[in-house]
Amino acid sequence: MNNHTRLVNAMRKTLGINGIQETPASGEFILSALKTILFPGAVYGFAVSLSENEWRALFAEVQARGMSNLAKLESFKPIEGSLYPIYWGKDKYLGARPHQHLRNPDGTGSIRLSTYSTLYGKPLVCASLVVTDNVSAEVALKSAFPDLLKTSRDVYIT
């Protein structure tokens, strides 16, 4: 089973346990004077497969930058096997937030994945599910699999 499938399966299982349903990313809507909502929202996650040395190095880099949600290395646990959760988030506009997290944007709360030297050249897995309650879905995923990174509005300068 590939890492993307493992991530999506873990997300779906966690959401199902918490009574949050996945919903199709297609449907009907009627244009009106009111604000039209195409989808109810999405939940997404980033994960990476790491060896023990890479796991320690990433945690050390994140700690040194003060960007960790986790206080102890032992709290940074895999979803399955060597696949570690980097970040869970919610998105009102399907795909917008995950894209912002890849770069180092000015003034936008982001995890700035491109700025971590320990992640350079590593295949990062990203999955997004359209769900009925994206706020509860994010809480459930963070509870089941604590994520490593927190967002910052400051551009990271090396």
For the chain, the average pLDDT equals 90
What is the enclosing helix (H) or strand (E) of 140? Answer: helix 134-144
Strand partners, 88: 45
Average of pLDDT values for 141-158? 93
Strand partners, 152: 110
49 has pLDDT over 90 = yes
Rg of the chain taking only CA atoms, in angstroms: 16
pLDDT tens for 13-45 read 999 999 999 887 765 555 666 665 666 788 999
pLDDT at 149: 96
100 has pLDDT over 80 = yes
Token digits of residue 71: 């206080």
Query: Using CB atoms within 10 A of its CB, is residue 35 exposed (0-12), middle (13-18) or buried (19+)?
Result: exposed
More confident residue, 113 or 37: 113
Q: Which residues fall within 8 angstroms of residue 12, CB to CB, at 6 or more apart?
A: 22, 129
Strand partners, 129: 43
User: Among 20, 32, 46, which Cα is nearest to 147's?
Assistant: 46
- Residue 73 vs residues 57, 124, 125, 131, 136: alpha-carbon distances, Å: 10, 20, 21, 31, 26
Domain ranges in the chain?
3-20+39-144
- Name residue, tokens 């449907």: 27
